[in-house]
Structure 1
C-alpha cells in the first residue's frame, strides 16, 4: 500500500518533465520547417522562375560635376533640378526580388559636356550590388536637358524708373539719380550679355514740391529692345540697397529786355520801334523760393548805333546759378520796325553846343564853328518838321585834368523832341586852358 502512494505523489513531476521535452521538440520542428520552406522557395525560384523583370520607381538621380571636363572649363549647370526616374530591371528572382530604390544608383552622364550650350544628357543606372546579375532594361525618363554656361560678372549703371512720381503744379521733376550709381551682377555669361540697362523701380504714386529720396522697390533688368529679363538668372544686390533721389525745380518766366545807352536826357526809350524775337522765356530753377516772374536784361545797345536797318543778336545769359533755359532757343534778335520812321541830315551850329562839367580851374572853348552831316532818326512827321535850329548837343568835360586840345563826342538831341535820336558819332574839338589873370591882381595877391 505504501509503494502505491509513493508512485502517486511523483506523477506531477514526471508530467512536467514530459511537457518540457515536448516543447523543445516542437520549437526544433518549427525551425526545421522554416529552413525547409526557404530551401523550397530557393529551389522553386531557380527551377520554376529563374529570371524576372521588375520596375522600381523613385530612384534619385545624382548630378555631380566633380572631376569632369565641364568643371575644368568653369562651366555650371543653370537649370538642373533634382529628379527621380523609374527603372525596369531584369535578373535572378532570388537576387533582385527584394530590390528597392536604394539598391540602384542613377547618375547624369556629363562626358560630352565640353563647352557652353544646351545638352540632352543620358541618365545611367546601375545596381549597387556588384555581384548581382542585374540588367537595366529601361529608364524613364532616360535623358535630361541641361544648360551649361560660365558664371561671370558685369558692372552696369543703375537708372531710376518711377512712372507715377511727378512734381506738383508750378514745379517740375528736373532729374532723378540712384545711389549707389552702379550694380555688379553675377550670372551666366550668355545671359549677362543680354543686359542693356538696369532700373531701380518705384511703383508708388506721389507728387513732389521739394527734393525727395525714396527706397527702390524692385530692380528691373532690360535688354536692348526694352524687354524685361528674368531676374532669377542673376545674382545681385537687393532693391532695398538702392535709393532714388528726385530733384525738383521751380518753373519761372523771365521777361527779356535790352538796355539803351547814350540816350540824352528826356529821350523816351519806349518810343523806339524795337522788337525782340523772344520777349520772354520759360526756365526752371533750383531756387524754389524765387518769384514766378523776373526781369532779365540781355545787354546794351548804344542809341547812336540804331539806324532801323541793323539787327542785334544777344545770347540769353543765365540769370541765377543752376537755372535751365526751357525755351528751346539760346539767343534773341533785336530789330527795329522802320515803318513810319525816316531820317534826315542836319548841320549843328556851335552856338547850340553846350560844354558841361568843366573843372572850375579851367576854361574851355569850342573850336568847331559847325558840325555838318548830323543824321537824326524819328517819326516821319516829326523829322520833316525839324530845322537846323532844333538840333542841340552837350559835351561833357568832367574828366579833364590838364589844359590842352581835346576831341570829345557830343551827345546830340532835338530840343523838345522825345522820340528823335542821332545816329553815328559826332566829335567836337575843344581847347582847355587856365583863366587869364592881370599883373595887378597877381601883385596884390603876393603882397597879401
Structure 2
C-alpha cells in the first residue's frame, strides 16, 4: 500500500514538472518566433482611414500675404504605409497629421496642391501612399466692406386705398458691414434687408429684418455663404401711402379762339395711373392734364410722356407698373392739305409800342391744315387767318422774326400744324421822335 502511494506521488511530481517544461517551451517558441519575425520581417504594412485634413495656413507665404482658405474640396484622407512592428500599434488616425503644402503661394486664386502626412509621435513610417494625394483650394483675402441697404418686404401690402412704396422704406442703420472673401465682396452690387412677415397695413409700421439678400450687377442672387454681417439685423420703417386711381386728360394749350377741341379724338395708353402720397396736406387730383400744342397734332401724331415728369415738384408718387404713357391722335377720317397764304391775310396784333408801325415783310406763308377730309378739301387760303401776336415781343431790333398763329373762323374743326415765323419790320410813325416813342405804352392794335 505504501509502495502504491509513493508511485502516485512520484507521478504527480513528474506531471507538474512536465507541465512547467511545456509552458517554458511554449514561451520560448513564441519568443523565438517573435525574434525570427522581427529579424526576418522587421516592418509591416498598415492602412488608416478618416484622417482629418488640416487647413491651417499660418507660417506660410500665403498667410504672410493676408490670404485665407476660402474653400477646400477635401475634409479627410486615407493612407497606406509601412512601419516597424514595434511602431505598428502606435500609428493611428490620431497620431498622423495631414496638411496642405501651400508652397510659395502669395496671390488669391484656385490651386491644386499636394497633401503631406507626418507622424506626431515620432513613429517611423515609409512607403507612404496618400489618397487623395492632392486637394483643390481657393485662397483669397478676407475684407470688410460697407454696403448701402435697400428694403424688401414681399409679403406686406397696404389696406383699402393704401399703398406701400418700397423706395420709401428706410433701414436703421442704413448700411451694413459685410466681411468675406474680397472677390465675393467685389461681385455685390445691391444689398437688401428683407422681412418675410405677412401683414396688411393701414398705417406706418416698424419691424426687424429677417435676412440679407445680395445681388450682382446683372440681378443674379449671390449666396451669403462665407460672409458675416454687422449688424446681423436692422430695423425697417414702412410708411403707408394714401392712393388713388387718376385719369389722364389731353389739354390743348394754344387752341385758336373758336376752335372746338372736342373734335380731337385721342387714344391714351394706359388711360389711368395709381398715384399715392404720404403727405396729409397733399390732395390727390382727379385727373392729370397732358398738355399739347395744336401744331403737334399732325396726322399720325403719337407721343410718349413720363409720369415722373408730370409729378415733378409734388409730394405724389407713381405706384403704377410703368412710368411711360402714350397719347396718339386718332387719324381715321382726317386729311391734310397745304395752302399758300399771302401777305394780305397776315396781320399783327398787340403792338409793343403805339408810336411804331409793325409791318409783315414775309410775302407768302405755306400753311398745312388738318381736319375732316370732306371739309379740308373745301377750305381755301382766304378762309385762314394768320395772326402775329406781338404781346411781349422783343422789338429792340428794327427787324425781327416772330411766330404766327393760324385759325379758320369758317370751320371750328380745322387746325394748322404749321409752326412758322414771319419777318416783322418796326418803323417810327410819322411825326414821332425816338425819345417820345420810347416812353409810349403798349396798346392793342390790328394792322394789315
TM-score, normalised to structure 2's length? 0.50
Q: How far has the Cα of 1:241 moved from its partner?
A: 2.6
Q: How far has the Cα of 1:234 moved from its partner?
A: 1.0
The yes-or-no answer on 1:245 pairing with 2:238 is: yes
Aligned 1:322-337 pairs, distance under 5 A: 323-324=315-316
Q: Using the alignment, how far apart are the partners of 2:110 and 2:90 within structure 1?
A: 38
Aligned 1:310-325 pairs, distance under 5 A: 323-324=315-316
Corresponding residue SS for 1:191: helix
Corresponding residue SS for 2:187: coil
Contact 1:251 1:285 (C-alpha < 8 Å) held by counterparts: no
Q: How far has the Cα of 1:67 moved from its partner?
A: 1.3
> Judging changes above 3 Å, is the alpha-carbon distance between structure 1 residues 54 and 249 closer, same or farther for their aligned structure 2 residues?
same
Aligned to 1:137: 128
Aligned residues: 283
Aligned to 1:236: 229
Match of 1:167 among 143, 158, 168: 158
**What is the RMSD of the two structures over their aligned residues, measured on CA atoms?**
4.9
Corresponding residue SS for 1:44: helix
Contact 1:126 1:136 (C-alpha < 8 Å) held by counterparts: no
Contact 1:285 1:322 (C-alpha < 8 Å) held by counterparts: no
The yes-or-no answer on 1:213 pairing with 2:170 is: no
- Structure 2: 5+ residue stretches without partners: 1-8, 250-256, 265-271, 289-309, 325-408, 410-442
Aligned to 2:357: none
Q: Using the alignment, how far apart are the partners of 2:140 and 2:16 within structure 1?
A: 74
- Structure 1: 5+ residue stretches without partners: 1-14, 257-270, 297-317, 330-379, 381-422, 426-448
Q: How far has the Cα of 1:248 moved from its partner?
A: 1.7
1:124-183 CA-to-partner distances (Å, cap 9, x unmatched) read 123446474x31331111111111100011111110112333333433334222221111
Aligned 1:2-401 pairs, distance under 5 A: 34=27, 37-47=30-40, 49-80=41-72, 83-96=75-88, 99-128=91-120, 130=122, 132=124, 134-174=125-165, 175-237=168-230, 240-251=233-244, 284-288=276-280, 323-324=315-316
> Judging changes above 3 Å, is the alpha-carbon distance between structure 1 residues 131 and 177 closer, same or farther for their aligned structure 2 residues?
closer
Contact 1:254 1:282 (C-alpha < 8 Å) held by counterparts: no
> Judging changes above 3 Å, is the alpha-carbon distance between structure 1 residues 282 and 96 closer, same or farther for their aligned structure 2 residues?
closer
Corresponding residue SS for 2:228: coil
Q: How far has the Cα of 1:41 moved from its partner?
A: 1.3
Q: Using the alignment, how far apart are the partners of 2:273 and 2:155 within structure 1?
A: 28
Q: How far has the Cα of 1:23 moved from its partner?
A: 9.2
1:362-407 CA-to-partner distances (Å, cap 9, x unmatched) read xxxxxxxxxxxxxxxxxx9xxxxxxxxxxxxxxxxxxxxxxxxxxx
Q: How far has the Cα of 1:102 moved from its partner?
A: 3.7
Which structure would you say has the larger Rg? Answer: 1
> Judging changes above 3 Å, is the alpha-carbon distance between structure 1 residues 195 and 104 closer, same or farther for their aligned structure 2 residues?
same
> Judging changes above 3 Å, is the alpha-carbon distance between structure 1 residues 43 and 231 closer, same or farther for their aligned structure 2 residues?
same
Q: Using the alignment, how far apart are the partners of 2:19 and 2:141 within structure 1?
A: 72
Q: Using the alignment, how far apart are the partners of 1:145 and 1:156 within structure 2?
A: 31
> Judging changes above 3 Å, is the alpha-carbon distance between structure 1 residues 38 and 126 closer, same or farther for their aligned structure 2 residues?
farther
> Judging changes above 3 Å, is the alpha-carbon distance between structure 1 residues 61 and 25 closer, same or farther for their aligned structure 2 residues?
farther
Q: How far has the Cα of 1:325 moved from its partner?
A: 7.2
TM-score, normalised to structure 1's length? 0.50
1:221-250 CA-to-partner distances (Å, cap 9, x unmatched) read 111111111101211036533324234234
Corresponding residue SS for 2:37: helix
Aligned to 1:390: none
